């Protein structure tokens, strides 16, 4: 089982736990920006409050884009999971931590790998291509504020320091804004 499949399995387990939280999960969508590595991020997923006392858990489908990660194919799709502190007040600061696991996919030349990649009975033919995946993981602390507007809408401003599996030169602060809908 690959690391991405393991993360998806663990994410499914977290999602099942979110479904049993005291409040129904809210849908969240957001965007992030990292200046040093010229990165952007988009995410959408679910967050449930009080999965443990004074903490919410979330799971997001996350898209990270930065040519610092891979100049040829800078788009990484993956999953983010994490926990955040929660306070039941309209404007509340929070701290959290999370994990991102994702990968990109690109076509690369396979005319010297001694494998019949296109399954036509010939190896290393001119123009033969194969798919190459690059796995990326990151852990991150997260700081921010949540502004709750009524019972069914909130805005979150946050910063995540992504510590990348690609090395310290790829670590950076992602600053973001998200919207959440559907609180009870």
Complete domains list, the chain, with CATH:
3-104+135-181 (2.40.160.20)
Q: How does pLDDT run across 96-122, given as a tens digit for each residue?
A: 999 999 998 777 666 666 677 667 777
Counting residues of the chain whose pLDDT is more than 90, the rounded percentage is: 55
Averaged pLDDT score across all residues of the chain:
84
- Cα distances from 128 to residues 114, 122, 123, 134, 167, in angstroms, run 11, 10, 8, 20, 32
Dihedral in degrees, nearest 10, Cα atoms 23, 29, 34, 39: 130
Q: Which residue has the higher pLDDT, 129 or 26?
A: 26
CB atoms within 10 A of CB 128: 18
Q: Is the pLDDT of residue 46 over 90?
A: yes
Say how far apart CA 96 and CA 73 lie, in whole Å: 30
Candidate ranges 6-15, 74-83, 116-125; pick with highest mean pLDDT? 74-83
Q: What pLDDT does 153 receive?
A: 93
């Amino acid at each position: 089982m690959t690391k991405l499949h393991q993360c998806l399995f663990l994410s499914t387990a977290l999602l099942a736990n979110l479904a049993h939280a005291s409040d129904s999960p809210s849908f969240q969508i957001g965007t992030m920006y990292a200046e040093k590595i010229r990165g952007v991020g988009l995410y959408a997923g679910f967050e449930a409050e009080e999965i443990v006392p004074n903490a919410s858990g979330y799971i997001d489908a996350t898209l990270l884009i930065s040519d610092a990660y891979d100049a040829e194919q800078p788009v990484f799709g993956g999953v983010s999971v994490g926990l955040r502190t929660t306070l039941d007040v309209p404007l509340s600061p929070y701290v959290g931590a999370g994990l991102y696991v994702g990968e990109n996919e690109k076509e690369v030349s396979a005319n010297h790998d001694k494998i019949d990649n296109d399954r036509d009975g010939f190896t290393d033919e001119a123009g033969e291509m194969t798919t190459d995946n690059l796995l990326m993981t990151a852990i991150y602390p997260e700081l921010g504020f949540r502004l709750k507007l009524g019972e069914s809408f909130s805005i979150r401003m946050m910063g995540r320091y992504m510590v990348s599996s690609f090395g310290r030169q790829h670590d950076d602060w992602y600053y973001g804004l998200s919207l959440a809908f559907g609180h009870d």
